[in-house]
Amino acid sequence: MIFAIVVMVVLRTLFFDLFRIPTPSMEKNLLVGDYLFVSKLHYGTRTPMTIGVPFTQIYLPGLEFPFTRFPGFSKVERGDAIVFNWPDDNVDVIERRMHYIKRVMGLPGESIAVKDKQVVVNDAPVPLQEGMQQYWSVTKTDPRVQLNRSALEELGITDVIQSADPAVVRLIATEAAAEAIANWPWVSDVAPAVAQANSVYDAAMYPPGRGWTPDNYGPVTIPGQGMSIALNEDTWATYEKVISRFEGHETGRTTAGDFLIDGQIAETYTFEQDYFFVMGDNRDNSEDSRFWGFVPMDHVVGKALLVYFSWDKDSMLPRFSRLFHSID
């Protein structure tokens, strides 16, 4: 048993790790109760930063090691499902922060925006991939018509929300499902349901105070290693958190309004590592980079490759069809 535990600890430290999906932010591609095999080798294994009890969150506080990453055999690409330590967690040690899984939508140096739910990278639209969901507004030809529940369930749709207009309902669906509904004879229109700007969104978005919403966001440039920016009121609001929290510099302002980095007045800043912009596949049920910002490379754990087991808590049975299901 001791030998088996040691081998498992070594394997999980250097080669792979195992995680469980706790929330629906990646549905329909990844379901609550999916157990994932995550490769650490793809992007390079991150060396341990602390010493702790295996398979627990217990570790020796105050004892930390410098961050090192071995060479990997691939780079983080757009569309990868990555596991990472949540950058906004209040825990000081990176590897002890909560684990999240999201889809990479923006790479270092790129400009990313969301325009009426459409993700746009460097002015080029990025279409929804298979299995990605969002809210759609469905307009019926007659407000008295009820959408067929069985037909909706066959398309994987379970929740229908009535709007203030009796002829319009909202539902969460994939693009393929929305196209199928649009062809129903009692449906006159299906369109993305775009959230309206309000004070709640204004405070919740990253960075706050710009009137952005999850459906109309940015544009914002994603930092990359070696990329330099001029410091001004706009870039300071966007990147001061990155410079201080993730790059480890002391930031501040002088009484005259100059920008301080490590006590020195600075007019420019050059980033020391790569960052990524991530989003959930279940777009309207995901707290992601739109709300808390970029994912630093030193927070990336690995690439999700495989669902090796899946448990449906509602039926209290395994989802046998998802066993050894590859993650696209």
Q: Model confidence over 258-316: pLDDT tens digits?
A: 999 999 999 999 999 999 999 999 999 999 999 999 999 999 999 999 999 999 988 89
Lowest mean pLDDT among 55-69, 88-102, 202-216: 55-69
Of 130, 118, 125, 101, residue with least CA distance to 280:
101
Residue 91 has pLDDT above 80, yes or no: yes
The whole-number average pLDDT for the span 84-112 is 94
pLDDT given for residue 145 in this prediction: 86
Residue 247 has pLDDT above 80, yes or no: yes
For 189-216, what is each residue's pLDDT tens digit? 999 999 999 999 999 999 999 999 999 9
- What is the domain partition of the chain in residue ranges? 1-110+275-328, 133-192, 228-270
Q: State how far the Cα of 125 lies from the Cα of 28, in Å rounded to an integer.
A: 22
Class of the CATH-defined domain 1-110+275-328? mainly beta
Quote the radius of gyration of the chain (alpha carbons, Å): 22
Of 135, 188, 202, 184, residue with least CA distance to 163:
135
Residue type, position 223, single letter: P
**Max CA separation in the chain (angstroms):** 68
Does residue 251 contact residue 260 with C-beta atoms inside 8 Å?
yes
Band the pLDDT of 158: cuts 50, 70, 90.
Answer: confident
Q: State how far the Cα of 186 lies from the Cα of 174, in Å rounded to an integer.
A: 20
CA distances from 9 to 5, 14, 40, 84 (A): 6, 9, 14, 19
pLDDT given for residue 62 in this prediction: 67
Place of tokens 């299906």: 190
pLDDT given for residue 54 in this prediction: 61
Between 92 and 225, the more confident residue is: 225
Lowest mean pLDDT among 69-73, 114-118, 145-149, 172-176: 145-149
pLDDT given for residue 47 in this prediction: 83
CA 196 to chain centre: 22
Q: Can you name the residues that pair with 184 across neighbouring β-strands?
A: none
Q: Sign of torsion, CA 273 103 288 125? A: positive
Residue 140 has pLDDT above 90, yes or no: yes
CA distances from 291 to 26, 251, 280 (A): 16, 22, 12
Lowest mean pLDDT among 7-11, 79-83, 222-226: 7-11
Tokens for 107? Answer: 């790479």
For 208-241, what is each residue's pLDDT tens digit? 999 999 999 999 999 999 999 999 999 999 999 9
pLDDT given for residue 7 in this prediction: 66
The answer for residues whose C-beta is within 8 angstroms of residue 262's C-beta and 6 or more apart is 249, 250
**Mean residue pLDDT across the chain:** 91
Residue 55 has pLDDT above 60, yes or no: no
Residue 68 has pLDDT above 70, yes or no: yes
pLDDT given for residue 20 in this prediction: 92
- Please classify residue 14 by burial: count the beta carbons closer than 10 Å to its beta carbon, then call 0-12 exposed, 13-18 middle and 19+ buried: middle
pLDDT given for residue 203 in this prediction: 92
Of 248, 265, 247, residue with least CA distance to 256:
265
Q: Is domain 133-192 annotated with CATH 3.30.70?
A: yes
Residue type, position 220, single letter: V
pLDDT given for residue 8 in this prediction: 67
The whole-number average pLDDT for the span 79-87 is 96
